[in-house]
Amino acid sequence: MKPTYQLPFTASRALTLGVELELQLVSPRDFDLTRAATDLLASLHHDGRHGDVKLEITESMIEINTQPRQDITAITQDLEGLRALLVDQCQKNNISICGGGTHPFHRWPERRICPGERFAFLHDRYGYLSKQFTVFGQHIHIGVTSGDDAIWLTHALNAYVPYFIALSASSPFQDGTDTHFDSARLTAVSAFPLSGQAPGTLNSWADFEKHLELLQACGVAHGIKDLYWDVRPKPEYGTVEIRVCDTPLHIDRAAELAAFAQSLASYLLRERPVISPELQGLVARYNKFQACRYGLHAELADPIAHQTQPLAHTLIVLLDTLRPDAQALGCRAQLEHLREVCTQGGDAHWLRHYLHTHPSLPELTRAATERFAQKSAYLHTKPPATPSHTSR
């Protein structure tokens, strides 16, 4: 039966990319979060050629969005352009800016909701959760040609969510404490009633329209923006959006994650492997927890093989599988770099190591601001070498 509710899907060119990063605005005096977003946005003057800068839910966050691009080099150029713009303007306003999924020691009651109808609605609806939502994520958009492809790819990508979490994890500290998680950010997202994964029963765009119609009729959701799914279709952009990544400490890692998403989508759409959304759904929360808690050392449940598998090992195998797609898309270097991250550790590891040698959370945040201020190695030098604990 055709749904009465129509949600048009704007087709886009397959595998186009877009990246959104939520960034932290901190005071250079004590490196605590500061209320600065509205002032910063008002003082920015740019032509928009690299994308957009937007307010996020609280005054201590700012969001950058790249333009939709076909390849990772253009995405990196956009991220670099927006990074340079923000770092420069922040210096003029005596603000510092950094990545990372959580601020290590801010007090959430001190956050202030940004002006705007949508933010006021969220604050009204979710109460304190809206202030605790001062966490910082990376969203990756991948273009698809139809709504049906968007639903299929949403399900297909859901199985790979733990990999994105582990590779991007950069939020081991919260409330001044080591959480013993590599990514503590996602627990803030899990508190929202419509978080999780797309129901496995959705097989087409028409199914999705019916699902959304039901949620709207029951008053559960007003629109697609209320679905805080790990991966969700974005019909107005014609994309599938991966929403589980922490904002990395540097834009090059953000570009590498986007390259991974693009290569993976290319592989999936080309090979069309058999997927089992309902079966995967049974272990999705457990696997997500494993990736958040242990990062690259997680053990993932495989509901098809009836066994657990070490995340790092299966990720390396996957990255090897994606090599031909990465080669074709021009992002082989980025994937090679992620392969090295699998063995040497990512941002969460870097943050813990830095705090071990410099035992001060403000100092850790300062180091994160310095790291974010560095130019992209992909654009300004030869492709970056393996990250060490003290470089890039």
Partner 1 sequence: MQHLRDAWEAMQDRLFFLPPLPDQVDPLILFALLVVAGLLVGQLLYRHFGLSRIVGYVLAGAIAGPGALGWLNTETLALAKPVADTALGLLLLETGRHLDLRWLRANRGLLPAALTESSLAFAGIFLFSYTIVGLSAGWSAATAAITMASAPAVVLLTTEENHAQGQVSQRTLLLTALNCAFSFVVFSCVLGVLHAEQTEDIFNALIHPFWVLGGSVLIGLGGARIALGIARVQQESPVLRVFVLVATALLAIGTARMLAVPVFLSLFMMGVALSLLDKDRLLSYTNLPDGHWILAIVLFVVTGAMLPLQDLSWSSGLLALGLLLVRGAAKFAGVLWAGQRDLPMAKRRLVGLGIQPLSATAIFMAAEIVGIYPEVGSQALLLPLLAAALMEFIGPQLCRHALQKAGETVPEPTRSAP
Q: What CA–CA distance (Å, rounded) separates 130 from 188?
A: 9
User: Under the criterion CB under 8 A, does residue 92 sit at the interface with partner 1?
Assistant: yes
- Considering only the stretches 24-32, 234-242, 324-332, 377-385, report the one whose residues sit in contact with partner 1 under the rule CB under 8 A: 24-32
CB of 377 to partner 1, least distance (A): 24
53 and 62 Cβ atoms separated by less than 8 Å: yes
**Given the DSSP bridges, would you call strands 195-196 and 228-229 parallel, antiparallel or unpaired?**
parallel
Number of residues that bind partner 1 (CB under 8 A): 24
Rounded Cα gap, residues 387 and 372, in angstroms: 14
Residues 235/6, Cβ–Cβ less than 8 Å: no
Q: Least distance from C-beta 110 to partner 1, angstroms? A: 7
Shortest reach from residue 116's CB to partner 1, in Å = 14
| Strand bridging mode 239-246 / 299-302 | unpaired
**Is residue 91 part of the contact set for partner 1 (CB under 8 A)?**
yes
State the Cα–Cα distance between residues 219 and 122, nearest whole angstrom.
Answer: 15
Kindly list the distances between the CA atom of residue 82 and the CA atoms of 66, 170, 247, 379, in Å, as whole numbers in the listed order.
8, 21, 15, 14
Q: Which is nearer to partner 1, 8 or 115 (CB)?
A: 115
**Helix, strand, coil tally for the chain in percent (to 5):** 50, 15, 35
What does the DSSP 8-state code read for residue 219? T
The verdict on 145 binding partner 1 (CB under 8 A) reads no
CB of 27 to partner 1, least distance (A): 8
Place of tokens 């009204």: 124
Whichever of 116 and 362 has its CB closer to partner 1, that residue is 362
Give CA–CA dist 107/117, Å, rounded: 24
Query: Residue 330 and residue 322: Cα distance in Å, rounded?
Result: 12
At 145 the three-state DSSP class reads coil
Q: Does 31 bind partner 1 (CB under 8 A)?
A: yes
Stretch that binds partner 1, among 70-78, 108-116, 301-309, 374-382 (CB under 8 A): 108-116
Nearer to partner 1 (CB atom), residue 112 or residue 323: 112
Give residues 349-378 in contact with partner 1 (rule: CB under 8 A).
359-360, 362-363, 366
Stretch that binds partner 1, among 72-80, 91-99, 186-194, 265-273 (CB under 8 A): 91-99
Residue of 10, 94, 357, 381 that binds partner 1 (CB under 8 A): 94
Q: Minimum Å distance from CB 37 to partner 1? A: 10
35 contacts partner 1 (rule: CB under 8 A): yes
Contacting residues toward partner 1, per CB under 8 A = 27-31, 34-36, 38-39, 42-43, 91-94, 109-110, 112, 359-360, 362-363, 366
